[in-house]
Amino acid sequence: MGLFSRRRSDEPEETPAEPTPESAHGPWDVEDKPDLEGRIDLGAVRVPARPGMQIRVELDRGTRAPVSLTMTQGGSALQLQVFAAPRSASLWDEVRPELSESVTDRGGTCDDVPGEFGRELIAKLPVTTQGGMGMRAVRFVGVDGPRWMIRGAFSGKAALDPDEAAPLEGVLRDVVVVRGSQARPPREVLTLTLPGTAEVAEPAPDDDPLGILRRGPEITETR
């Protein structure tokens, strides 16, 4: 018998493979998910509305451009930022070691582990609390899209508890990214737009040493 043999007539035909979880859900590119109904228009991203979820858009302290958003639900939060990325290489694979090094340089710990969205970082950051020094857990995830990368930071109960993280993971899976066709250097933050009914609040102090969860002037919208 040669290297290749013909299938016998009594052998069952192979069934097509089921789509992988990565191909079955988002975050989506707008070219792959053009139906934006039921999502909040924030410019570079369209975020699904969820009952009881609050959305806060953070502004860059220097330019005051909206550059990140944080969604809170219960005792959990998810911060999202979207970056321009190269066409071929994985930007998340490139920045993940740098993010891990930043955590350890500031006295924290960081584990690179497999997770719901691929490789993730489970970080514990030193913070100052009313009772003294403590550690704050943050779970970083990244998803590479066509010429963009979206980075998420789960905090609060969602950082370590899978059941608490599930609702916000569902939100992230239903986000649509609208990058635009203009040329952008890799790692450039894609700016957001503010909903027309939003109000801008004053900056609030924060004790996050990485600035990952730093709160600048913000708007809050409750759905």
Question: Closest Cα to residue 150, out of 78, 77, 219?
Answer: 78
More confident residue, 103 or 218: 103
Flag whether pLDDT at 3 surpasses 80.
no
Domain range list for the chain: 34-91+145-222
Flag whether pLDDT at 45 surpasses 80.
yes
**H-assigned helices in 67-216:** 91-105, 162-173
Distance CA 120, CA 188 (A): 21
Q: What's the pLDDT tens digit per position in 119-168?
A: 999 999 998 877 778 899 999 999 999 999 999 999 999 999 999 999 99
pTM value is 0.79
Distance of CA 191 to CAs 59, 103, 173, 176, Å?
9, 25, 20, 14
